[in-house]
Amino acid sequence: MRAKDDAGENIFVEGVEFAVFDADGNEIGTATTDAEGVWVVALPGSGVYSVQLNVDTLQGFELRNPDNNPLTGVEVQPNTQKNTLFPLGERVVEESTSIRPIQLFVDGIKLGMIIAMCAIGLSLIYGTTGLTNFAHGEMVTFGAMIGYVFHVTWQFDFLGSWMTSLVFGAVMATIMTGAIGGLFNELVWKRLRNRGASLISALVVSIGLSIFFRYIFLYQFGGRAGFYRDFRIGDQVEFFGLFTMLRKDIFIVAFGALILVGVATALRKTRVGKAMRAVADNRDLAESSGIDVEQVIKYVWIVGSALAGLGGVLFGLTENVNWEMGFRLLLLMFAGVTLGGLGTAYGALVGSLIAGVFIQMSTLIIPGDMKNIGALLALIVILLVRPQGLLGRPDRIG
């Protein structure tokens, strides 16, 4: 519950009481908004509910549409968000400050960047070891959760500013996810490689691990959606009347671009980066050129996982933190990587950006809840038309 105070600033409204009723009029529960304006009532399942705002607890504001209280016919389904709107005060006529296609394009770039950051690791791991790692999504979730733990649960405020705590959380997420990735390579994947296990066995192992970790996350974190406190909502910033972005999204896009450009540059200029690309391109050739392939693989796992963890924090920032966020993103990562070229780093980048834009812009035509289909359909189509992806090589596809 948020509103603008007299000075026109966005504030959270605390102390407002809500009641939820089911379709038969039975009261399910009540709750009061906290300091962040959040109220929670647990629902027994999907179905139709009604939400009532206790007007007496609404201090200093008035409902614009008192007849719409309680709000009935609220249909709730698992895994989807349902917004209930209780407009307050007078309707402020705001000019339309965005052109929809451009807005969606910008949203798509943002989503694409997040996908790209997470997907580079996936693509490089495939390129260097041949493993399609179905557990990669869990790295994303892990990163987001580490960020959550540091920022929300423990609230590591150093200079008293929430900004530092999140930054610290992000740094820790990146480092720890990278370390976990490297550890897994050492303990699991390298051992499987040395035993000569087939790639299909490894793929199934990765699926088993994906299930295992997802349910650990569910066990520990619960099924709720967590938010990085103070970052749930934010100010909109207008850009030349073409599109708007939330402050935090501007940060995400700018920071994300910085990281991706940095990674792309490192892949081109540094020795390790070049070695990574060489091994991903042609392992035997790289080995005979004197590159220590196992070493490169180790770095790929560490860097790829670290990027995924960082991407997880950004993803959590832009949406929310939940137990299966990485798994949901994994499919989009596959779409992006296949589109761009499975096994290449630049391909993962380009393909993910395209996938992100595709997803968001597809809402011009199809309903919002189905927007992910756009990327998945693009995945199928590209396999029909150009299976190696935009930047991939034809001989890698069988």
Residues lying near other proteins in the complex (CB under 8 A) are found at 46, 75, 77-78, 132, 188, 192, 197-216, 218-219, 331, 334-335, 338, 342, 367, 369-370, 372-373, 376-377, 379-381, 383-384, 387, 396-398
Minimum CB separation from other proteins for residue 216, in Å?
6
Q: Which is nearer to other proteins, 236 or 282 (CB)?
A: 282
Minimum CB separation from other proteins for residue 181, in Å?
16
Q: Which is nearer to other proteins, 254 or 377 (CB)?
A: 377
Rounded CA separation 372/315 (Å): 15
Minimum CB separation from other proteins for residue 234, in Å?
28
383 contacts 397 by C-beta, under 8 angstroms = no
User: Angle between the 293-318 and 271-281 helix axes, to the nearest 10 degrees?
Assistant: 100
Minimum CB separation from other proteins for residue 342, in Å?
8
Q: Which is nearer to other proteins, 213 or 315 (CB)?
A: 213
State how beta strands 27-32 and 71-76 pair: unpaired
Rounded CA separation 106/253 (Å): 9
Which of the 8 DSSP states describes residue 42? -
DSSP symbols for 246-259: EHHHHHHHHHHHHH
Minimum CB separation from other proteins for residue 246, in Å?
26
Minimum CB separation from other proteins for residue 203, in Å?
7
Q: Which is nearer to other proteins, 263 or 329 (CB)?
A: 329
Rounded CA separation 32/52 (Å): 12
For residue 243, the SS3 value is strand
Q: Which is nearer to other proteins, 265 or 289 (CB)?
A: 289
The count of other CB atoms within 10 Å of the CB of residue 116 is: 31
Minimum CB separation from other proteins for residue 255, in Å?
29
For residue 240, the SS3 value is coil
Rounded CA separation 122/102 (Å): 30
Q: Which is nearer to other proteins, 158 or 219 (CB)?
A: 219
Q: Which is nearer to other proteins, 233 or 397 (CB)?
A: 397
**Type of residue numbered 116:** A
In sequence order, the 6+-apart residues with CB closer than 8 A to the CB of 277 are 267, 344, 345
Rounded CA separation 39/25 (Å): 20
Spell 265-286 as b/e; 16+ CB within 10 A means b: ebbeeeeebbbbbbbbeebeeb
Backbone torsions φ then ψ of 216, nearest 5 degrees:
-65, -45
Q: Which is nearer to other proteins, 92 or 200 (CB)?
A: 200
Distances (CA, A) of 292 to 126, 183, 196, 267: 17, 18, 19, 17
Minimum CB separation from other proteins for residue 94, in Å?
28
**Type of residue numbered 379:** L
Q: Which is nearer to other proteins, 43 or 55 (CB)?
A: 43
Minimum CB separation from other proteins for residue 374, in Å?
10
Which of the 8 DSSP states describes residue 151? I
Strand residues in the chain grouped as ranges (E): 2-4, 10-12, 17-22, 27-32, 47-53, 71-76, 236-239, 243-246
Minimum CB separation from other proteins for residue 341, in Å?
13
Indicate if the alpha-carbon torsion angle 140, 208, 302, 121 is positive or negative: negative
Q: Which is nearer to other proteins, 135 or 149 (CB)?
A: 135
Q: Which is nearer to other proteins, 103 or 132 (CB)?
A: 132
Rounded CA separation 254/261 (Å): 11
Minimum CB separation from other proteins for residue 200, in Å?
6
